[in-house]
Amino acid sequence: MCLLERLAENYKRISIVGMAKNAGKTTALNYLIEEAMDEGLTLGITSTGRDGEGTDVVTGTEKPRVYLDTDTIVSVPKQLYELADAGLEILEETPYGTALGQILLCRVADAGYVQVAGPVINTQHIQMCEEMLALGADLVLIDGAIDRKTIAAPDISDAIILSTGAVLSRKLDRVVEGTAYTVELYSLPVLEDGMERDIIREHAESDRVFIVKNGKAVTLNITTGLGSGKLLDNAIDEEVTHVFVPGAFTQSVVADIDRRKLKATTFVLKDPTKIFIDKATWGRLRKSGLTVKVLENITVAAITVNPTSPAGYSFDHGEMASAMQKAVPDIPVIDVMMA
């Protein structure tokens, strides 16, 4: 059974997330599309931004185009519809607008290259994926073309495929360590079911920092956790069990909190994409007693590796795949350039 078949058994929406630009995300997408063609799976293809163009609009480097087989369901803005090499049958003009016009949901009538783009608003993306599934897609692949953190969020998809590569560093061990650290963060423990979780979920949409004290949520006069360590230190006493931080979670959130209070309190985030702390600092904070849990974590269904950097250097294919697999033994690792 191929990778895509295994994924389709467990998930309906999968985001392809790049650790950085030119990490091989579009190559991974093309690899999965080829698998779908071989196995007779009907895909829905969309993107959080424009993708499928021949040249990267940011870096100016050549990039793989997206070739779609017949019956694939794809999202295309009106201004890109006529640019498609593929024959596209318009199924629906959606209410979702972009800078390139309204999004069209199309079925590929004649195979060919397509420039793909989709909504940038998360709620619209979720709804459009459901429409693709209703139109007959076995699995929707979401190309994360705008922002790695945003597209990895668990409300967008059921799981992600994480694409990493030599572009991250000239040193293989740094690429492996950085990727494994991202997987570690995405696998943070979920806050257990119970009264505290119910309280936090009830108030989480307010987008305000609050504490859970004596079984009740107490909203603090803090609009963001950034730089609020002293205010949090003053608010935390022996009756506080949890602190909910809705936005970015950086070192500055906890820098000024007394270590004894830090050890006795659990910080809760919506999901791991809110964490903006480097690996070394994260390790020090955890050793000092920091406990962080999430309302939802992120399932990394597979990792793809790209041993070649556009800067002109590369790693040995087998060595990179082997090192990555050793670092994340429970997740399939695929070198899409060699598969």
Residues 184, 186, 190, 196, CA torsion sign = positive
Q: What is the pLDDT of residues 91-136, one digit of tens each?
A: 999 999 888 899 999 999 999 999 998 888 888 989 999 999 999 9
Q: d(Cα 222, Cα 119) in Å, to the nearest integer? A: 31
pLDDT of 64 > 70? The answer is no
Number of domains in the chain: 2
Looking at the fold, whether 284 and 308 belong to one and the same domain comes out as no
**Which one has a higher pLDDT value, 89 or 40?**
89
Question: Which percentage of the chain shows pLDDT scores above 90?
Answer: 69
Looking at the fold, whether 23 and 82 belong to one and the same domain comes out as yes
Looking at the fold, whether 239 and 116 belong to one and the same domain comes out as no
Residue with tokens 């423990």: 189
Looking at the fold, whether 20 and 89 belong to one and the same domain comes out as yes
Q: In this predicted structure, what is the pLDDT of residue 263? A: 94
Looking at the fold, whether 287 and 303 belong to one and the same domain comes out as no
Q: What is the pLDDT of residues 140-160, one digit of tens each?
A: 999 876 455 667 778 889 999
Q: In this predicted structure, what is the pLDDT of residue 330? A: 95
Looking at the fold, whether 30 and 54 belong to one and the same domain comes out as yes
| Confidence band of 62 (pLDDT split at 50, 70, 90) | very low
Count of alpha carbons within 13 angstroms of residue 42, beta-carbon side: 15
| Confidence band of 224 (pLDDT split at 50, 70, 90) | confident
Q: d(Cα 265, Cα 236) in Å, to the nearest integer? A: 8
Mean pLDDT of the chain: 89
Looking at the fold, whether 36 and 132 belong to one and the same domain comes out as yes
Q: In this predicted structure, what is the pLDDT of residue 51? A: 46
70 and 111 Cβ atoms separated by less than 8 Å: yes
* Structure-token pair, residue 226: 């950034």
Pairing of strands 291-294, 87-98: unpaired
Q: What is the pLDDT of residues 286-320, one digit of tens each?
A: 999 999 999 999 999 999 999 999 899 999 999 99
Looking at the fold, whether 132 and 228 belong to one and the same domain comes out as no
Q: d(Cα 194, Cα 306) in Å, to the nearest integer? A: 43
Boundaries of domain holding 22: 3-186+298-335
CATH number, position 49: 3.40.50.300
Q: In this predicted structure, what is the pLDDT of residue 133? A: 96
pLDDT of 43 > 50? The answer is yes
Looking at the fold, whether 67 and 178 belong to one and the same domain comes out as yes
pLDDT of 257 > 70? The answer is yes
* pTM, 2 dp: 0.88
| Confidence band of 339 (pLDDT split at 50, 70, 90) | low
204 and 295 Cβ atoms separated by less than 8 Å: yes
